[in-house]
Structure 1
Amino acid sequence: MPVHPYWQIKQINTIDGFRHVDRNGAFGGRGTGSFWISFNALVTWIAIHVKLILFLCAYSDDSFGPNDTLDVAFYPPYHKYMPSNQVKLLLLWDELGIPHKEKKQIFGNPLKIIGIIVDADLMTMTLPSDRLADLLQELAKFTKYDNHKSPSFTLKVWQRLAGWLNWSFNVFPLLRPCLNNVYPKISFHGPVSPEKKLYVNAAIRSDLLWASEHLKSATGVRVLRALHWSPELADVTIYCDACLDGMGFYYPQLDLGYYSPVPLDSPSQDIFYFEALCVISALQHATSRFDPSFPLRLVIFTDNANSVNIFSTLYSLPPFTPILKLACDILIKSEHQLRVLHVPGASNRVADAISRAQFVQALDLVPSMTISSFQPPHLPLGAVKK
């Protein structure tokens, strides 16, 4: 892709003593990926909003999407019928002068998209066994301690591993917490050499081993399910709250409330930590209470926006990674679907009263409720060191 002259001066190649200007984005260069992503994002916007191509998706420089099997159109340059949305996109590329090759314009079912086999009939995404084996082999390099010595790798190798794992999250989305300690490790203020050596610390090793164990036992197949569903469709609904002294959650459908003082040996005394600990306690309790052989839709309400964010994205600061890993362990094993949603404090009065051990006030709000105690999980602090 052609680049501005101001960028070209950063791409001077010396061959046999002569300087050569690379007028296009250097293949494999640090900025090349951003060029392609930005450009394809603009083309995708035009395709969706101007050419009205429905359900078009993009990943880096790859474009893909669904199409009715019977909805086809003739594309003259290739002398064949193709899915109509694909033809619309090819015509847009022709209009914009974007070159393309016929052998890369594939369609059908199943279809390999960004290296993942997608089956629209079975609603599955499959990571090929050889790619899964390669990923496990790479993880083994980072987690193997020869002679009890922590291994070190260059920054670019760390970045490659992070990109590789991010790609695998398309099939294994619940393994996202394994990178929560890696991101701070590879983040720097200001320029840094890609050859800089970084050691694997205990927290990162633990997270990568956790991901590796799940990958070893996985089939490599993800069955697609609806990710966005109304809270009214939940099988179980729980309200959570916490303060610096206690935690409480409440099943409105069952008139059951549960209380626990905050752990004295808690790895953090931050209120955010206790709010998140209350959510994972509620998830763990619900999983043990109901039939584990029947996957449930669980909704947990909390008035803490930070808790909503980390459980929705599975990304957090290192101290909260053990909480997210436990949540993912539960969801992987049970196949439950979890949504952690925000509720205004005024609508969370029952859980708030329970968390403060104000049981009389809680019973005034729900006279038929039974309040018991619960034991929160004991988790380590997920600290990180560079």
Structure 2
Amino acid sequence: MRVVADHTSSGLNDGIQRSDCPTVYDTIIDFIRLLRWHRFSSKLLTDNSVLWKLDVSSAFKILVLSKRWQARQGIAIKRKFPDGSVHTWYHIEWRGVFGCRAMLFLWTRFMSLLMWAANNTFGIEHPLVYMDDAFGIDLVGSMVPFVHNGAIHIIPTQQAAMATLWGGLKIPFKLSQEKAPHGRCITITGIRCDLASFSVSLPEKSISDLIMEIDAFLLEPTRHPTLRKWRQMTGWLSWALNVAPQARPYLTPLYDKIAGKKRSDAGVHINTSVAMALAAMATLLVGSPSLPLDAPSLTRWGLKDADVVVYTDACLSNKTGSGAGLGFWLRWKGTVHHYYCRPQRAYERIQFAETLTVVLALSIVVERSPCFHLTNFVACATKPPSMRSNLKHVQTTLAHYGSGLISSPTIVV
């Protein structure tokens, strides 16, 4: 039996502010950056390099709390006997529990200290950790024997060093292929990482599970899933964005619906925009291939690296009163170019007008100015187009103006 302590219903979490417990994780994005750095900068990533992962068993339970807090973690267990009598046992939980609001904060601090020791004392290069999963790259790829629980395992040197650190601190872990995989292609934080193809992807089972969850969410009998379910869905979809970043706009309607809501057990209505966005994202995830890590679009660059910087602005009513006004200007080789457009129609949302201006600017610069050889394109909006603008309208705009933008340069708005 595993006891799940709910500190919210008991009131213990009321004294802990979320702002006092910030948590920062090493995500698959950080791992992608590390892989790309070793491939293109350090040049140390070779055909012998392997990936590895190590998982802490019974996370949180290895943290012993202060006696003053232990006294607040009393658990009453009642049992009714055949004779009708009821007996109550009391248990003091002296270790960390998942239901405590501060536990993620404490755990990440503890694991950060472990990663510091792993790097500075045990020589593990760039160790990363997400919750209870530590992972990294063994660049050399040499294998060494390691004895754990009476069995000999042949594992990468870096993984063995991490296991040695944990073993010395009596931190429980398993060296099974499921909990501690290593090789050229392994799954880390639920995402398949493949050094051979230098790509990341979602496992087929993860995609099918996510599609089933989306279907169950949309088919909720009341059409009002609880806020807790909404948050779970947005969290799962955000995780999928690691390998499908082009699906990010589809999350906007979900965040719009739950913005400002706080009651986790309160129902939130599924509107048409949310249903369409989830259906579109499900289709995209099924058809999306793996994400190649050598894609130029993953290269980090700033404003100083841009080939062209375009400044855009829009208004809902122009000076002639004929509708909206769209305009932008850019500087190219010492010459200033400016454009404006009055589409002779009004728009309800300034966000849509701003987005349309950015798309129009990109279309004109790329298609009508062949002298511009673009690699990196920056559009600076005076009021940046909000991702909260109507997704359907934005998609229609892109389809109308973006026929030549399918293979467009890297763009930052």
Q: Which among 279, 295, 307 is matched to residue 358 of structure 2?
A: 279
- 1:9 paired with 2:72, answer yes
Identity %: 22
- 1:83 paired with 2:153, answer no
Is the CA contact (8 Å cut-off) linking 1:143 and 1:205 kept in structure 2?
A: yes
Give the secondary structure class of the aligned counterpart of 1:170. coil
Query: Which moves more between the two structures, 115-124 or 195-204?
Result: 195-204
Equivalents in 1 of 2:229, 2:381: separation in Å?
A: 40
1:101-112 paired onto structure 2 within 5 Å: 101-103=174-176, 104-112=179-187
Determine the structure 2 residue equivalent to 1:266: 347
Query: Which moves more between the two structures, 87-96 or 250-259?
Result: 250-259
Is the CA contact (8 Å cut-off) linking 2:141 and 2:157 kept in structure 1?
A: no
Give the secondary structure class of the aligned counterpart of 1:134. helix
C-alpha deviation, 1:325, in angstroms: 6.3
- 1:158 paired with 2:236, answer no
Structure 1 residues 155 and 35 mapped into 2: Cα distance closer, same or farther (>3 Å)?
A: farther
Equivalents in 2 of 1:321, 1:45: separation in Å?
A: 44
Give the secondary structure class of the aligned counterpart of 1:12. strand
Equivalents in 2 of 1:287, 1:158: separation in Å?
A: 40
Q: Which among 241, 260, 276 is matched to residue 169 of structure 1?
A: 241
Determine the structure 2 residue equivalent to 1:334: 406
Give the secondary structure class of the aligned counterpart of 1:65. strand
Equivalents in 1 of 2:107, 2:394: separation in Å?
A: 33
C-alpha deviation, 1:90, in angstroms: 2.4
C-alpha deviation, 1:108, in angstroms: 0.4
Query: Which moves more between the two structures, 75-84 or 111-120?
Result: 75-84
Is the CA contact (8 Å cut-off) linking 2:227 and 2:267 kept in structure 1?
A: yes
Determine the structure 2 residue equivalent to 1:41: 112
C-alpha deviation, 1:27, in angstroms: 5.0
Give the secondary structure class of the aligned counterpart of 1:204. helix
Structure 1 residues 187 and 26 mapped into 2: Cα distance closer, same or farther (>3 Å)?
A: farther
Query: Which moves more between the two structures, 48-57 or 195-204?
Result: 48-57
1:168 is matched by which residue type in structure 2? A
Determine the structure 2 residue equivalent to 1:222: 291
For residues 127-185 of structure 1, the C-alpha deviation after alignment (integer angstroms, 9 at most, x for no partner) is 12222122122222334598xxx711122222221221122112112222222332353
- 1:248 paired with 2:328, answer yes
Equivalents in 2 of 1:117, 1:7: separation in Å?
A: 40
Give the secondary structure class of the aligned counterpart of 1:14. strand
C-alpha deviation, 1:334, in angstroms: 2.9
* 5+ long unaligned stretches in structure 2: 1-60, 80-87, 316-324
Is the CA contact (8 Å cut-off) linking 1:249 and 1:278 kept in structure 2?
A: no
More helix by share: 1
Determine the structure 2 residue equivalent to 1:373: none
Determine the structure 2 residue equivalent to 1:359: none
Determine the structure 1 residue equivalent to 2:128: 57
Structure 1 residues 122 and 26 mapped into 2: Cα distance closer, same or farther (>3 Å)?
A: same
Is the CA contact (8 Å cut-off) linking 1:110 and 1:120 kept in structure 2?
A: yes
Equivalents in 2 of 1:39, 1:327: separation in Å?
A: 49
1:67 is matched by which residue type in structure 2? D
Equivalents in 1 of 2:299, 2:197: separation in Å?
A: 19
> Greater relative contact order (Cα 8 A, min sep 6): structure 1 or 2?
1
Is the CA contact (8 Å cut-off) linking 1:280 and 1:323 kept in structure 2?
A: no
1:312-351 paired onto structure 2 within 5 Å: 318-319=388-389, 334=406, 336=408, 338-340=410-412
Is the CA contact (8 Å cut-off) linking 1:240 and 1:282 kept in structure 2?
A: no
Give the TM-score normalised by structure 2: 0.62
Is the CA contact (8 Å cut-off) linking 1:241 and 1:302 kept in structure 2?
A: yes
C-alpha deviation, 1:32, in angstroms: 5.3
For residues 52-107 of structure 1, the C-alpha deviation after alignment (integer angstroms, 9 at most, x for no partner) is 53232222221212222444555454645533332332233234432211112221
C-alpha deviation, 1:118, in angstroms: 0.9
2:227 is matched by which residue type in structure 1? L
Give the secondary structure class of the aligned counterpart of 1:318. coil
Determine the structure 1 residue equivalent to 2:196: 121
Is the CA contact (8 Å cut-off) linking 2:135 and 2:188 kept in structure 1?
A: yes
Determine the structure 1 residue equivalent to 2:25: none
Q: Which among 206, 219, 235 is matched to residue 276 of structure 2?
A: 206
Structure 1 residues 126 and 120 mapped into 2: Cα distance closer, same or farther (>3 Å)?
A: same
Determine the structure 2 residue equivalent to 1:362: none
Give the secondary structure class of the aligned counterpart of 1:242. strand
Is the CA contact (8 Å cut-off) linking 1:236 and 1:298 kept in structure 2?
A: yes
Equivalents in 1 of 2:268, 2:328: separation in Å?
A: 42
Structure 1 residues 266 and 57 mapped into 2: Cα distance closer, same or farther (>3 Å)?
A: farther
Equivalents in 1 of 2:312, 2:300: separation in Å?
A: 23
RMSD of aligned C-alpha atoms? 4.1
Determine the structure 2 residue equivalent to 1:346: none
Determine the structure 2 residue equivalent to 1:302: 380
Structure 1 residues 254 and 152 mapped into 2: Cα distance closer, same or farther (>3 Å)?
A: farther
* 5+ long unaligned stretches in structure 1: 311-315, 342-386
Structure 1 residues 61 and 233 mapped into 2: Cα distance closer, same or farther (>3 Å)?
A: same
C-alpha deviation, 1:111, in angstroms: 0.6
Question: How many equivalent pairs are there?
Answer: 320
C-alpha deviation, 1:187, in angstroms: 4.9
Equivalents in 1 of 2:242, 2:104: separation in Å?
A: 19
Is the CA contact (8 Å cut-off) linking 1:73 and 1:82 kept in structure 2?
A: yes
Give the secondary structure class of the aligned counterpart of 1:319. coil
Equivalents in 1 of 2:120, 2:408: separation in Å?
A: 36
Structure 1 residues 44 and 15 mapped into 2: Cα distance closer, same or farther (>3 Å)?
A: farther
